Amino acid sequence: MTQNLVIIGAGMATGRALEHLLDAEPDAYNVTLFNAEPRGNYNRIMLSPVLSGDKAYDEIVTHTAEWYDENGVTCRFGEKVAGIDRTAKTVTAANGDVVPYDKLLLGTGSNPFMIPLPGHDLEGVIAYRDLEDTERMMTMVEGQKVVVIGGGLLGLEAAAGMAARGVDVTVVHLMGHLMERQLDEAAGYLLRKALIDKGITVKCSANSKEILGKDGHVTGLLLEDGTELPCDLLVMAVGIRPNTALAAEAGLAVGKGIHVDDQMVTSDADILAVGECVEHNGALFGLVAPLYEQAKVVAQTLLGQEAAFVQKEVSTKLKVTGCDLFSAGDFADGPGREDIVFRDPARGVYKRLVLEENRVKGAVFYGDTADSNWFFGLIKDGTDVAEMRETLIFGPAFQGGTPLDPMAAVAALPDDAEICGCNGISKGTIVAAIQDGATDLAAVRTVTKASGSCGTCTGLVEQVLGATLGDDFVIPAAQSMCGCTDLAHEEVRRLIKSKGLKSMPAVWQELGWKTTCGCHVCRPALNFYLLADWPVEYQDDPQSRFINERKHANIQKDGTFSVVPRIWGGITNPDELRAIADAADKYHVPTVKFTGGQRIDLLGVKGEDLPHIWADLNKAGLVSGHAYSKGLRTVKTCVGTDHCRFGTQDSTGLGIRLEKMLWGSWTPHKLKLAVSGCPRNCAEATCKDIGVVCVDSGYQVSIGGAAGMDVKETELLCQVATEDETMEVVAAVTQLYRENAKYLDRIYKWMNKVGLDWIKDQIDDPDTRRALADRFELSQSIYRKDPWAEHARDKAETYQPLANLTLEAAE
Amino acid sequence: MTNWIDIGALEDVPARGARMIKTAFGCVAVFRTGDDQVFALDNACPHKAGPLAEGIVHGTKVTCPLHNWVISLETGQAQGADEGVVNTYPARIEEGRILLDAACLMRRAA
Ligand SMILES: Cc1cc2nc3c(=O)[nH]c(=O)nc-3n(C[C@H](O)[C@H](O)[C@H](O)COP(=O)(O)OP(=O)(O)OC[C@H]3O[C@@H](n4cnc5c(N)ncnc54)[C@H](O)[C@@H]3O)c2cc1C
Ligand code: SF4
């Protein structure tokens, strides 16, 4: 007698298993197929094209009513199985029917995970899993608002599908970049840009707090930071959980999913499972490729054949038109790895391969996925790529030939070959310009614009110069910022402004960085450039700062730190001194020293004590002196008219005002000021970065002094009549320095490059001066704050060891 | 034999950053790269024992805060012209937690 096979769930996995089974032995089983959804098997992954309107539901049905009929499958659609009795070997349908089985196949799929935020049960809060969800999203029309929580594959497909219908969509994503499990930051950045171009609002690093509603219906989403996003529908696409409830109730072994062996058999020999509901060797599944492999195996097992499921690499593509991305393999774990990175900013292309022992382990492509299958093949087969390593990233077309001499390659290019992608300049145009007398890079750039935008073709332009002029042209050794780029600091600064690059991944991508995430040379510089140019938009990145600025204290050679509280203008009082003395006692500070900047240095503080000593000093009103920063250090003063018989102005008062205006600001290098009350100059103002010397008729502001490895006297910038004007001049020149200087150039070095006259021109023009001072003030509205207080309050934990294993290890 | 111990949550270590842990045999720096790999190394540069946990992390390397030696997180080898090597210890991530091989830490002591 034929055996009874009962299948629970008519999804993609069981559907495929059924096909294999019926192909091999149509009469092996009497099949009964239950499905909670009121329909048979359809191609779930094509719901997104249905949502965007590119396909109709009919087109994505895998098995029609006729198909089930022809193959003798008893369909019980719209009926959820309520229980399994393993002793009696029966299942019970929702309506109470009891159906006996010889073999039972579970294919219950997954449940979308719903974050239990307040309001998650409001009407209008849905997941994205089945046709009902899709149809609900399709009711949204132009002008309506939808919030999608989750910037993964599903969330973005939902967002793009609705945006294509003219719906106003906002994606709220918890992590720093989109699809963080499949993409690295660079690809995430490009994807975000493409989605924004489609009119979708993307909020990363955004934490949802509460779903708002009215009369039982959703009206908006409230974020942790207080932002309120109104919406008519809220889609949660934050992940899936294997649907194991039925199996667990029946007493089958269940972990995160239903445990199965290599034959897809559960802990009960007569019950098999397949699809997203299973757990195999600790792994869960969320893409169809491995499920189809499982389906093959489960069919063979049911037919008594030998078969074993083996996990393979999976790859992901996003089904959103205009966003070509591909990610495969594993770039998240394991030592001995190397990256090969290729970027083509003009085309918006990013490719990254992760290699280990000459084998490709992972790949992320954005913008050009034409060769992704070839690479995926290399990953799956574990091909040894040692031979083609140099040209590997360019894909299969480039393999097999000998590497070209770059100069010969350029010489061989036809005249209409494009050299500068940004400006659309061909080789012929550049050659013509050279023949007309433009014989160096700057001249070619001026005449043709080639290499004047993103600058990444600079090398190519130089090669064209070389090929055209022969030995008359020596390709200059680029003074690049670091090994990650061929661009010089100045070019990077210019491009950050002109291209509006507001994040590190944006710079890395648009300027063609050769590494995944920069190095210790370029990252601190980029962090400064970005925060100086985009104070409001850019978020300071502590991980790109040297330790002193990250921990707001100076590291000493023995790994301890020094702590220097700010003493405004060098003026203190007994209470502050007492608090400093108490702190020195309490934290066993071995050395207490007066600095040259009129303050007190507590040397030898343990890293772990930093937040505590800061909190104590804060209580007495003392804040960070930034003695560790590329930023404002001190404003040294003399006693001026308050006490000195020669004093012409209130130098102390002005010094304190200046320090209160400037503190907390970041500058290309350290910034020291001084104010002397008369030309006797007791505050040594003329060897500071900015010095003010008071005279009877007003204030002389001079810049570019130094008293370090180089000793320099300041040069006069201007003389003004009032304290207020002095304040504005100092703010303006500080901002000019912040906006233009190369990172780690003191003012005198910057002045040598741009010339004092140019600086004077800017400061003498009242409009320019005011605009500079205004921009400085805008930046200060964010950075004028005490980092000690902030760290003592919010980050104290991070100053402690992550774990203390001294006890455990001693056992 | 391995003996994986849970030393903390991945999110407690900033991406492209590190935290230090104390062991009976000295401090170990636990690094997290930009793409969420974790590595554990002795917290002392082979040059002048600089605290590597305080360095700038880039790719799978860290730059020592004292004299800018660049150390591979994978092998512990100093890069470029510099020569020296730091002990490394097996580390991995499981369900958002960082695990270190305690057995290996102990072996160092022996
Ligand atoms: C919008 C969307 C886009 C996707 N895009 C891709 C993609 O591009 N590439 C890719 O590889 N994957 C994609 N996926 C994932 C892919 O669709 C799933 O991996 C696949 O459908 C899982 O198949 P399954 O058979 O395990 O489960 P399902 O297809 O979910 O089928 C399970 C079925 O079991 C039924 N069921 C559950 N419990 C019971 C019960 N007690 N009684 C009766 N019936 C029950 C459910 O109603 C459901 O119909 C996408 C998924 C979605 C939702
Ligand atoms: S600089 Fe002039 S005003 Fe100031 S203390 Fe010296 S002599 Fe007095």
A411 vs A433: CA distance, rounded Å: 16
A349 vs A364: CA distance, rounded Å: 11
- Identify the pLDDT of residue A421: 61
Name the residue among A49, A105, A508 with its Cα closest to residue A300: A105
- Tell me if A341 sits within 8 A of A352, measured CB to CB: yes
DSSP structural state of residue B26? E
Which tokens belong to B31?
A: 């690094």
**Is residue A22 within a helix (H) or strand (E), and if so which, with residue range?**
helix A12-24
Q: How many residues are given for chain A?
A: 811
| CA torsion, ordered A203, A204, A208, A211, to nearest 10 deg | 30
Mutate which: B3, B7, B23, vs A, most A CBs within 10 A: B23
- Tell me if A2 sits within 8 A of A101, measured CB to CB: no
A740 vs A750: CA distance, rounded Å: 8
- Tell me if A86 sits within 8 A of A120, measured CB to CB: no
Name the residue among A595, A780, A581, A563 with its Cα closest to residue A672: A595
Dihedrals phi, psi of A585, to nearest 5 degrees: -65, -50
- Identify the pLDDT of residue B1: 59
- Identify the pLDDT of residue A400: 47
Ligand nearest to the CA of A644: 2
pTM: 0.65
**Strand bridging mode A632-637 / A671-676:** parallel
Q: What is the CATH number of domain A631-785?
A: 3.30.413.10
Q: How many residues are given for chain B?
A: 110
A775 vs A782: CA distance, rounded Å: 12
Mutate which: B10, B13, B22, B87, vs A, most A CBs within 10 A: B22
Which tokens belong to A127?
A: 């997941």
Chain B contact set for A802 (CB, 8 A)? 7-8, 12-13, 19-21, 30
Top CATH class, A125-238: alpha beta
- Identify the pLDDT of residue A309: 93
Q: Which amino acid is at A71?
A: N
Minimal-distance CA residue of chain B relative to A333: B37
Dihedrals phi, psi of B72, to nearest 5 degrees: -75, 130
**Strand bridging mode A671-676 / A690-695:** parallel
- Identify the pLDDT of residue A289: 82
- Angle of helix A131-138 relative to helix A153-163, nearest 10 degrees, comes to 30
- Tell me if B38 sits within 8 A of B14, measured CB to CB: no
Separation of CA A595 and ligand 2 centre (Å): 20
Smallest Cβ distance to A802: which of B30, B35, B68? B30
A776 vs A548: CA distance, rounded Å: 24
- Identify the pLDDT of residue A807: 62
- Identify the pLDDT of residue A337: 76
Separation of CA A156 and ligand 1 centre (Å): 18
- Identify the pLDDT of residue B110: 47
- Identify the pLDDT of residue A452: 59
Residues of chain A with CATH 3.50.50.60: 3-110+242-302, 125-238
Pocket test for ligand 2, best of A641, A645, A681 (most atoms within 8 A of CB): A681
Q: Does B27 touch chain A (CB under 8 A)?
A: yes
Which residues touch A23 (CB under 8 Å, ≥6 apart)? none
Q: Is A599 in the pocket of ligand 1 (CB under 6 A)?
A: no
Q: What is the CATH number of domain B4-109?
A: 2.102.10.10
Dihedrals phi, psi of B81, to nearest 5 degrees: -75, -15
Q: How far is CA A214 from CA A137, A211, A270, A766, in A?
A: 20, 10, 50, 54
pLDDT along chain A (811 residues), means of 10: 92 94 93 95 90 87 93 95 96 94 97 92 95 94 94 92 92 89 83 90 92 94 93 94 95 95 96 96 88 93 94 77 79 67 79 87 83 80 81 68 54 73 77 89 81 63 84 68 85 86 92 89 95 93 93 87 95 96 96 94 94 95 95 95 91 97 96 96 96 95 91 94 97 96 92 86 94 95 94 91 71 40
B99 vs A337: CA distance, rounded Å: 20
Q: Which amino acid is at A81?
A: V
**Mean pLDDT over residues B47-70, rounded?**
91
Which tokens belong to A415?
A: 């005249």
- Identify the pLDDT of residue A808: 54
Name the residue among A589, A587, A619, A616 with its Cα closest to residue A602: A589
Which tokens belong to A720?
A: 């003004």
DSSP string of A87-145?
Answer: TTTEEEETTS-EEE-SEEEE---EEE-----TTTTSBTEE-SSSHHHHHHHHT--TT-E
The CA-CA-CA angle for residues A604, B65, A805, to 5°, reads: 70
B89 vs B103: CA distance, rounded Å: 10
Pocket test for ligand 2, best of A641, A682, A700 (most atoms within 8 A of CB): A682
| CA torsion, ordered A479, A480, A486, A491, to nearest 10 deg | -100
CATH T-level fold of A3-110+242-302: FAD/NAD(P)-binding domain (3.50.50)
- Identify the pLDDT of residue A405: 54
